[in-house]
Amino acid sequence: MFVAKNRRPLLLFILFALTLGSIAISIAFNILRHDQQHIHEPLHAAFEAFGGMAAIAMAMLLLQLHRDGQREKGEYYLLSMGFFMMGILDTMHAVSSFGYGFILLRSLAGLFGGCWFALVWFPRVCKTIGSKPIPWFLISATLITGLLILSYREFFPLMMKDGKLTSIAIAINLLSGTLTFAAALYFFREFWRSSRTESYFFTCMLLLLSLSSLEFPISVVWSRDWWFWHVQRCLAYTVVFYYMLRVFLRVSDELKKTNMQLEGRIAERTADLTREVAERIRYGRERDQVITELQEAMTQIKVLTGLLPTCASCKKIRDAEGKWVQMESYIQNHSDARFTHGICPTCAKELYPEVFNKLNN
């Protein structure tokens, strides 16, 4: 689907307002009373679980769209891999408790997702690895990594000391935010050129995810600005669900149109078959009538066939019982022919010469 030209300015305004507003609110929360903490681990777990499940659902949808060949460059495939990794680690982050591995899981989720998202600038990558099992090995490795972090938390570095993030945590989140922002620029460029509604949704989604990663290093854990980038990520996943709903409605509408077309073709074909059957029935009746007439004609016709033993003198014919009968009687018995008597001129001259001569003088 494409955006109408008269709606483009409004959508661009919303996009820039969303970007500038998010940055302004984050800075305001960071400056004004950022030292106030609101610790609520169940709410935090709900945020992360919602994001993880939404990311996995989005990954499955995009992978199916890729298999259907919706995009030639393979952007769906790259995005699906990023959402798979992000969803797996975010879900594990949701069930983890504060301490070792807590921030590491969230940071790696953003980094792995951002790396795959940024690959949309390199379409050849998808053609190279899209048909190979390597990405699935990476997804399995991501799952194993998350399980190891949860099981052996004390062996992984603590990403926060004295209430502040370590340089490693800051670097990972800045890098993941930059990569995701690069992917958002890719789809914004596509939207600018083609006005595709889908590109606009991807732009908003990736923009919100990138801003949450970029704002993470400057936030204080459990403070308002820290909670704000969680809200941003939830907004991004709300866009995800809205996009999935639009895809579902679009596919449903296409299926309805296809069904209507099929029903129309079936109705036309049924009508053609009905006419054809009626014609065949009519031809069959005519054929049966002709056969009946021929059978009736055959019953009325007696055909003399084969060799007939005939007397060379009196011209009698020997029948099947061996009797010699007059030729006239034999023919009358074996056909519908009937005889009437007369005399030919030769016989008349020979038998009745006087009468013959008078008639001819």
Across the range 113-129, mean pLDDT stands at: 80
Q: Encode pLDDT of 195-219 as tens digits.
A: 888 888 889 889 989 988 888 877 7
**Per-residue model confidence (pLDDT) at position 226:** 77
The answer on pLDDT for 274 being more than 80 is: yes
- Which sequence spans correspond to the domains of the chain? 5-251, 317-360
Across the range 294-312, mean pLDDT stands at: 68
Residue (of 195, 191, 193, 197) closest to 242 by Cα position: 197
**Per-residue model confidence (pLDDT) at position 117:** 92
Distance between CA atoms of residues 115 and 257, nearest Å: 39
The answer on pLDDT for 272 being more than 80 is: yes
CB 206 within 8 A of CB 176: no
Residue (of 138, 154, 142, 134) closest to 91 by Cα position: 142
Q: Confirm whether pTM is higher than 0.75.
A: no
**Per-residue model confidence (pLDDT) at position 129:** 63
Least confident of 21-35, 188-202, 204-218, 314-328: 21-35
Higher model confidence: residue 349 or residue 181? 181
Higher model confidence: residue 319 or residue 85? 85
Q: Taking the CA atoms of 247, 249, 255 and 260 in sequence, report the sign of the dihedral they define.
A: negative
The answer on pLDDT for 27 being more than 90 is: no
Quote the DSSP letter at residue 133: S
What is the separation of C-alpha 35 from the centre of its chain, rounded to a whole number of angstroms?
Answer: 53
Higher model confidence: residue 273 or residue 337? 273
Q: Encode pLDDT of 132-169 as tens digits.
A: 566 778 888 888 988 998 888 888 877 877 767 888 88
The answer on pLDDT for 278 being more than 80 is: yes
Residue (of 10, 361, 15, 21) closest to 188 by Cα position: 15
CB 239 within 8 A of CB 204: yes
Across the range 246-269, mean pLDDT stands at: 84
Most distant CA pair in the chain, distance: 163
